[in-house]
Amino acid sequence: MNDLRRALADLLGSAEGPAPPWRSLLRPGDWAVACAGLVFVAASYPLLWRGGTADRAIVKHDGKVVIELALNIARRHEVQGAIGTTVIEVQPGRARVLADPGPRQYCVQQGWLTRAGAVAICAPNHITLELNGRKDGVDSLNY
Amino acid sequence: MAARMASIPSTIELVVTDDDRRIARYAAAAIALTIAEAAIPSPLPGVKPGLANIVVLVVLARYGWRDAAWVSLLRVVAGSLVIGQFLAPGFFLAFAGALCSLAVLALAQHLPGRMFGPVTASILAAFAHIGGQIVLARVWLVPHDGVFYLVPVFATAALVFGTINGLIAARLLAVPLAAPIAVSSAPTFQEPSP
């Protein structure tokens, strides 16, 4: 490692000298550019990562929309399906299938859905729960 | 060296100028940093310190944009050959990034030097670098807007590493050159004594 450092110092032609304080290496414009960069970075987080969050849950029975639930207030909703009642639970920002009459309980075990485009399918009862955002996380889903 | 070359009859003689030697030396430093950096594990492909850009910044400040462009592009091509990435997707991403940063540096060098130093050049070049890479990745490798979800991560890395690299370049430039590099012909590559 020391060899590499010396070789680089040779190649770059910088003599070992008294190190100037780091602060003195920044000129006024550098501060401005760094701050502008910080603003850009900070702005890029919400702008680019908001699209993936969901703002409503859509419950469908046999492909037809039964109800749309906004994800801003907690509540439960019961949906009549082919073999019984599926209970959908909504909390701020997320939704899940709380109970389902299906034998294998896949959609219940899936737990909370949070991302736009996420889907829980209760096939035996012909019920699907999907989350939707202003911009979906995925273009399309086929199943 | 020159005497031996003259004794061999040759129909082609490549004249190596001091410019060539100087560019080769700096490019060698940049390639060494590229290789050292390839050993650093990265959580996300593309998030790298970009240490070789320190060399490009030093060359830009000392010898101008033309030399910096040579060093930068030689670094990308030769560095990728050494680490076995030549013509792999990573090579084209690095190449696109280098071209974009060089374009931005060509503009940035006209900023008033009293106000804007190497740190500005470094940050702008780092953002241009990720910009070029992401656009190429979107157009060619991942034709889906999902790539843009990575922009905040890459932008953060560009700001952090751009600032650090710029400070290192400024530190190197703050110390005056010990000897003019152009005239010395590679004293560092002597045969090691037994």
Q: Looking at residue B44, what is its pLDDT? A: 77
Q: Could you tell me the two tokens for A137?
A: 């996380």
Please give the pLDDT value at position B127: 96
pLDDT of residue B122: 96
CA-to-CA dists, residue B33 to A140, B3, B9, B37, B94, angstroms: 44, 34, 38, 6, 14
Ramachandran angles phi, psi of B63, nearest 5°: -125, 0
Locate B139 and state its tokens. 């157009």
B171 at the A interface (CB within 8 A)? Answer: yes
CATH of B19-43+52-176, picked from 1.10.4160, 1.10.3470, 2.60.40, 1.10.1760, is 1.10.1760
Q: What is the phi/psi pair of residue A20, to 5°?
A: -70, 150
**ipTM for the whole complex:** 0.78
DSSP output for B131-187: HHHHHHIIIII--SGGGGGGHHHHHHHHHHHHHHHHHHHHHHHHSPBSS-TTTS--G
| Residue in chain B lying closest to A46 (CA) | B152
Say what the pLDDT of residue A71 is: 85
Specify the pLDDT at position B6: 57
Ordered by start, the domain boundaries in chain B are 19-43+52-176
- With an 8 Å Cβ cutoff, is B60 touching chain A? no
Q: Which residues of B touch A14 (CB under 8 A)?
A: 172, 175, 177-178
Candidates B36, B124, B162; nearest CB to A4: B36
> What's residue A12's pLDDT?
67
Check residue B144 and give its pLDDT: 66
Name which residue leads in pLDDT, A92 or B142.
A92
Q: What is the mean pLDDT of chain A?
A: 82
A7/B152 Cβ within 8 A: no
Structural domains for chain A: 56-132 (2.60.320.10)
Cβ contact B152–A41 (<8 Å): yes
**Residue from the list A20, A28, A41 with its beta carbon closest to the beta carbon of B115:** A28
10-residue block means of pLDDT along chain B (194 residues)? 59 85 93 90 81 94 94 95 90 94 94 91 96 91 75 93 94 73 46 48
- The enclosing H or E element of B130 equals helix B118-136
> In B, which residues are within 8 Å of A13 by CB distance?
177-179, 181
The one-letter code for the residue type at B131 is: G
Q: How do residues A42-90 score in pLDDT, each as one tens digit?
A: 988 877 766 566 788 899 998 889 998 888 888 899 999 999 999 999 9
| Strand order from edge to edge, sheet including A75-80 | A75-80, A85-91, A94-99
Give the model's pLDDT for residue A13: 62
What is the average pLDDT across A120-129? 90
What is the Cα–Cα distance from B114 to A27, expressed in whole angstroms? 7
CB < 8 Å from B in window 13-72 of A:
13-17, 19-20, 22, 24-30, 33-34, 37-38, 40-41, 44-45, 48-49, 52
Residues B129, A21: Cα–Cα separation, whole Å: 28
| Gyration radius (Cα) of chain A, Å | 27
Instruction: Provide the 8-state DSSP code for A14.
Output: B
pLDDT of residue B172: 87
Q: What is the pLDDT of residue A92?
A: 86
